[in-house]
Amino acid sequence: MQASIYLPYLIVIVLYSAVAVRFWRTSSMQSKSNKHAVLIALGLIVHASLLYQDIFIGDLNLNIANTLSLILWLTVFIYWIANFKHDLQSLQAFVLPPAAASLALQAYFHNNVIVAFANDPLFMIHIAIALLAYSLFTFAALHALLMAAAERSLHQKTSLIKLPSFPPIMTMETLLFRIIGLGFILLTLTLISGMLFSEQIFHQALKLNHKNIFTIISWLIFGSLLLGRARYGWRGRTAIRWTLTGFAVLLLAYIGSKFVLEVLLGR
């Protein structure tokens, strides 16, 4: 393929990386917030056009690279929106590097994994809800990592992550549970729509395969976290551990199964 084909991917990778690195290297971010928002918005627009080109032109192609890139595009977009209200500039140091890495994978992997039921409205609704749920939980996991770094900084512990500023811990914690609550609702809808689709196509409400088992485990973990928050006031490190554990299981459910099928088995 011609080198010019990779240029748009490279532009967005550099853009995301430059904004993230500038945050890590700058001690005061107040004067840079508007400029960063504009640069991230530009990256999101070009990133979206690349996703449209690779996923939606022709048959619906959701290979592992395209799927990861789409999830992380949604994650960056959620961050971009949330930052206007909650001043989460420090989170861009966590959100943008994975998005840049996903674009590199998207540019490199061009294998076709065609979605078999792309013309079925119920299945497309199921896919859309699932991707949005995964993006919210990705945001929550990265936000939990930011909270962990902020807590270590607050207690003056040595850490590999040194950022110029952090939002207030209580503000971050409130936002974390709002995101998890919304993600839990969407994950519940994902399971319900998946069961309806499975019943419609396979005449079986729920197939106990690798993906469904890990998704249900993740749903139970996040449900338990929300219950623990409501009944016992779980917060801090407990919330961080449960969030990261639930996300890791959810990652195994979808991306893990796609990795095994596409990369290891070559299907």
pLDDT digits (tens, 9 = 90+) for 141-195: 999 998 888 887 766 655 555 555 667 788 889 999 999 999 999 999 999 988 8
Q: What value does the mean pLDDT of the chain take?
A: 85
Q: 102 and 142 share a domain?
A: no
Let me know whether 203 and 256 are in one domain: yes
Q: What confidence score (pLDDT) does residue 154 get?
A: 66
Whether residues 129 and 106 fall in one domain? no
In the chain, how many domains are there? 2
Who wins on pLDDT, 157 or 135?
Answer: 135
Q: Are 143 and 267 contained in the same domain? A: yes
| Span between the terminal Cα atoms of the chain, in Å | 23
Q: Considering 64, 94, 115, which residue would you say is the last residue of a domain?
A: 115
Backbone angles phi, psi at 114, to 5 degrees: -80, 130
Q: Tell me the torsion sign for CA atoms 209, 211, 215, 217.
A: positive
pLDDT band of residue 126 (cuts 50, 70, 90) is confident
Note whether 28 and 138 are same-domain residues.
no
Residue 166 gets which letter from DSSP?
-
Are 241 and 147 contained in the same domain?
yes
Max CA pair span of the chain: 59
| 97 plus 217 within the same structural domain | no
| Residue-range definition of the domain harbouring residue 123 | 116-267
| 8 Å CB contact between 127 and 258 | no
199 and 74 in one domain? no
For the chain, give the number of residues: 267
111 with 122, same domain: the answer is no
Tokens of 117: 């039921």
Q: Among the three residues 115, 141, 164, which one is the final residue of a domain in this structure?
A: 115
Can you list the alpha helix ranges (DSSP code H) found in 87-168? 92-108, 121-154
Residue 61 dihedral angles phi and psi, to the nearest 5°: -110, 100
Q: Is residue 61 helix, strand or coil?
A: strand
Tell me the per-residue pLDDT of 215-257, one tens digit each, with 9 for 90 and over.
999 999 999 999 999 999 998 899 999 999 999 999 988 877 7
Residues 124 and 100 in one domain: no
Same domain, 149 and 40: no
Q: Are residues 50 and 181 in the same domain?
A: no
User: Residue 123: is it exposed, middle or buried by C-beta count within 10 angstroms (0-12/13-18/19+)?
Assistant: buried
Q: Can you tell me whether residue 70 is helix, strand or coil?
A: helix
How far, in Å, CA of 260 to CA of 199, rounded?
26
Residues 47, 120 contacting (CB under 8 angstroms) = no
- Looking at 87, 115, 143, the residue that finishes a domain is 115
Count CB atoms within 10 A of the CB of residue 156: 7
